[in-house]
Amino acid sequence: MSGSTAKKVLVDRYDRTQVKGFVQAQSLVQGDAVELLSTEGAVLRVPVAQVKTVSFVRDLNGPSIWTERREFLARPKTPGLWIELRFRDGSRMEGVAPNDLLLMEGQGVTLTPPDPAGNTQRVFAPRESLAGAAVLGVVGAARRRAQRKPEGTKQIRLFGED
């Protein structure tokens, strides 16, 4: 793994254990497992069926997304799709996903969590861990239409211009 693309993650599993390590963000899911380099230096393959979330964090010793705020207190300001994820164990989480269908991953959903000052910067939830997902809103600027000038008016001429 090269240092520039290795990201710090906390992998939360359904058996309530947590794995700390580093992943390649571009190739997070390898086949049917999440591959990461543990803090001890061993390469681990955690089966996707056991993974609840993969949290990209600032500090490996900091809190997980499951101990931080998981709901917005008000409508989010970040542009994108405001999404609620429901997990197999009944827990739920809100976040903002990019409003670009080309960025939607086939293996799961990547969200920005509600607390911008928290330890968790992004969260990846594999499709296998989800019981459902709902779009709560679309956040962003409305598209502006170009103003049309009425066809009957012309620019007036000043000082004898032609």
- pLDDT of res. 140: 84
Question: For residue 138, what are the β-bridge partners?
Answer: 81
The pTM score is: 0.79
Position 3 scores a pLDDT of: 47
The gap from C-alpha 78 to its chain's centroid, in whole angstroms, comes to 11
Distance of CA 64 to the CA centre of its chain: 15
Per-residue pLDDT tens, the chain, 162 aa: give them.
444 578 999 999 999 999 999 998 778 888 889 999 998 989 999 999 999 999 999 999 988 898 888 899 888 888 889 999 999 999 999 999 988 766 666 788 899 999 888 899 999 999 999 999 998 988 886 666 666 666 666 777 788 776
Compute the distance between CA of residue 10 and CA of residue 120 in angstroms, rounded to an integer.
Answer: 9
Token output for 144: 């502006």
**Which residues make beta-bridge pairs with 63?**
none
